[in-house]
């Protein structure tokens, strides 16, 4: 089959790779000059099958309300006027609220763990086949707590994960320090933690760009620096996709050429931008940007830096070592497509991340801000968030149109598996996991789909 994949983030590139493995003729379109230059660029680097709790839980509404006026809040929801684009934010917020109860939380966790386990196996397969090197560390993920009240609930969350097959366990501070001695400088503040040895970390950008190159070597056609303008539907099916080359002074292109791509299947994998594109042909999915930040610091004392990837419960950030650098990432602002880093709000959030690294790992890396002569490498990206945190993977009601988007906080973790599942569905195969694939109303079964 001829397949066009829109978007070359981790999701689009994984989809292309698995389609290629099944013998399809694949074209990938992206507006950027390379793969993984948007949300897959500088995330927290965690392959966190076991730390997959969605943001929507019974305590989230109260916390969001409390945090509404704090610029450095982990979860920031500042409502806009409920008209136009503001209406999308309100609608998303109300759908999120509907997920803030124990029954929905557990249902969502079950799905996220199923996709996570499937995806972890798929990632290991891809790494085995390709030998891609991406600063991978198979050292697990540890979650440390500084407040007793929060730590008291850690056992329940770990038990829920174990119920669905993930070996997350509660550990004392002493045990945590044996698992990751680099936390010792902060030990006086830590009341305990949890740990999952099977989780891992690695650089999503390096992996995605390397996989894209392998795809190209295998015959995938990458149309970089091309904007997807619209999906052209005739009747109830996609007839073509209109794309235009971006102007480039280096290549002497003033007005980019307009092209209409035709295919047997079109996969929308445009991250947060998938929703407006799909809505233009009547497919209305609640995928909305959840803006987050990261900072990547050069290590000054590599011997004191952590190898185990960690989650800081107090400020809800994740910390991962990537070669000679340490990355910290976190916070979510619901509903902003604005990627600027120089607003007072963005600056407050970046400063908070840098400060936290200095507090937890004092002197280990160069956390100086630019105005202090440092090079903190701040970055912001838009998580394609859904109210459940579960992505939409499957076929839409429009003929030839498929979707693989909405991976929220877990797109790197779920990337390889989402790409594989998408390629399987397009090829008429049944992915071996219990998951509600979009467009398959009775799709959730222990292995594969029950209805097509």
Ligand X SMILES: Cc1cc2nc3c(=O)[nH]c(=O)nc-3n(C[C@H](O)[C@H](O)[C@H](O)COP(=O)(O)OP(=O)(O)OC[C@H]3O[C@@H](n4cnc5c(N)ncnc54)[C@H](O)[C@@H]3O)c2cc1C
356 binds ligand X, rule: CB under 6 A: no
> Is 157 or 410 the residue whose CB approaches ligand X more closely?
410
95 binds ligand X, rule: CB under 6 A: no
43 binds ligand X, rule: CB under 6 A: yes
Contact pattern from residue 189 through residue 228 relative to ligand X, giving x for each residue in contact according to CB under 6 A and a dash for the rest: --------------------------------------xx
394 binds ligand X, rule: CB under 6 A: no
Q: How far apart are CA 273 and CA 269, in angstroms?
A: 9
Q: Least distance from C-beta 357 to ligand X, angstroms?
A: 14
To the nearest 10°, report the CA torsion of 51, 57, 63, 69: 80
**Structural tokens at position 359:** 């507090």
27 binds ligand X, rule: CB under 6 A: no
In this structure, are residues 200 and 309 in contact, taking their beta carbons and an 8 Å threshold?
Answer: yes
* Pairing outcome for strands 75-76 and 325-334: parallel
Q: From the list 8, 20, 122, 426, which residue makes contact with ligand X (rule: CB under 6 A)?
A: 8
CA 229, 235, 238, 240 torsion: positive or negative?
A: negative
57 binds ligand X, rule: CB under 6 A: no
Q: Least distance from C-beta 236 to ligand X, angstroms?
A: 23
Q: From the list 93, 193, 376, 384, which residue makes contact with ligand X (rule: CB under 6 A)?
A: 384
Q: How far apart are CA 6 and CA 26, in angstroms?
A: 11
| Residue 226 to residues 30, 202, 241, 258, Cα–Cα distance (Å) | 6, 28, 12, 9
**Structural tokens at position 94:** 């109300």
How many residues make contact with ligand X (CB under 6 A)? 41
Q: Which residues lie below 8 Å from residue 45, measured CB to CB, with a gap of 6+?
A: 135, 201, 202, 203, 204, 309, 318, 320, 322, 327, 329, 412
Q: Which stretch binds ligand X (CB under 6 A): 29-37, 60-68, 139-147, 156-164?
A: 29-37
30 binds ligand X, rule: CB under 6 A: yes
Number of residues written out for the chain: 452
Q: From the list 151, 195, 273, 361, which residue makes contact with ligand X (rule: CB under 6 A)?
A: 273
* DSSP labels, 304-355: GS-SSEEEETTTTEEEEEETTEEEEEEEEEET-----S-SHHHHHHHHHHHH
390 binds ligand X, rule: CB under 6 A: no
Contact pattern from residue 318 through residue 337 relative to ligand X, giving x for each residue in contact according to CB under 6 A and a dash for the rest: x----------x--------
11 binds ligand X, rule: CB under 6 A: yes
Q: How far apart are CA 421 and CA 30, in angstroms?
A: 21
Q: Least distance from C-beta 39 to ligand X, angstroms?
A: 3
410 binds ligand X, rule: CB under 6 A: yes
Q: Least distance from C-beta 449 to ligand X, angstroms?
A: 23
Binding site for ligand X (CB under 6 A): 7-12, 29-32, 37-40, 43-46, 48, 227-228, 269-271, 273, 292-294, 318, 329, 381, 383-384, 405, 407-413
């Amino acid at each position: 089959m001829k397949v066009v994949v829109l978007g070359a983030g981790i999701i689009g590139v994984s989809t292309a790779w698995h389609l290629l493995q099944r013998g399809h003729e694949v074209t990938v379109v992206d507006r950027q000059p390379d793969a993984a230059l948007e949300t897959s660029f500088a995330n927290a680097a965690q392959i966190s099958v076991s730390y997959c709790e969605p943001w929507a839980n019974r305590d989230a509404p109260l916390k969001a309300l409390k945090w509404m006026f704090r610029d450095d809040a982990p979860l920031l929801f500042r409502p806009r006027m409920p008209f136009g684009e503001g209406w999308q934010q309100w609608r998303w917020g109300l759908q999120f609220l509907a997920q803030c109860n124990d029954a929905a939380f557990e249902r969502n966790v079950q799905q996220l763990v199923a996709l996570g386990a499937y995806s972890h196996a798929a990632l290991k397969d891809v790494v085995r086949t390709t030998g891609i090197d991406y600063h991978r560390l198979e050292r697990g993920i540890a979650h440390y707590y500084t407040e007793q009240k929060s730590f008291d609930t850690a056992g329940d969350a770990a038990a829920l994960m174990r119920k669905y097959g993930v070996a997350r366990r509660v550990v004392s501070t002493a045990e945590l320090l044996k698992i990751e001695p680099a936390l010792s400088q902060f030990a006086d503040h830590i009341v305990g933690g949890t740990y999952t040895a099977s989780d891992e970390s690695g650089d999503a950008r390096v992996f995605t760009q390397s996989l894209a190159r392998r795809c190209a070597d295998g015959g995938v056609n990458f149309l970089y620096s091309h904007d997807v303008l619209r999906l052209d539907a005739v009747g109830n099916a996609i007839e073509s996709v209109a794309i235009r080359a971006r102007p480039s002074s280096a290549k002497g292109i003033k007005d980019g050429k307009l092209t209409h791509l035709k295919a047997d299947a079109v996969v929308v994998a445009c991250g947060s931008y998938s929703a407006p594109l799909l809505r233009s042909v009547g497919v209305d999915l609640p995928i909305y940007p959840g803006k987050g930040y990261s900072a990547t610091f050069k290590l000054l004392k590599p011997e004191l830096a952590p190898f185990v990837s960690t989650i800081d419960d107090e400020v809800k950030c994740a910390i991962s070592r990537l070669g000679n650098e340490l990355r910290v990432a976190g916070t979510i602002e619901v509903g902003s497509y604005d990627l600027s880093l120089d607003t007072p709000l963005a600056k407050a959030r970046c400063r908070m991340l840098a400060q936290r690294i200095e507090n937890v790992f004092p002197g280990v890396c160069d956390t100086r801000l630019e105005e202090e002569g440092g090079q903190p490498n701040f970055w912001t990206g838009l998580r394609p968030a859904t109210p459940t945190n579960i992505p939409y993977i499957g076929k839409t009601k429009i003929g030839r149109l498929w979707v693989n988007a909405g991976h929220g906080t877990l797109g790197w973790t779920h990337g390889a598996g989402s790409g594989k599942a998408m390629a399987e569905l397009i090829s008429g195969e049944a992915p071996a996991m219990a998951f509600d694939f979009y467009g398959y109303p009775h799709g959730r079964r222990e292995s594969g789909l029950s209805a097509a």
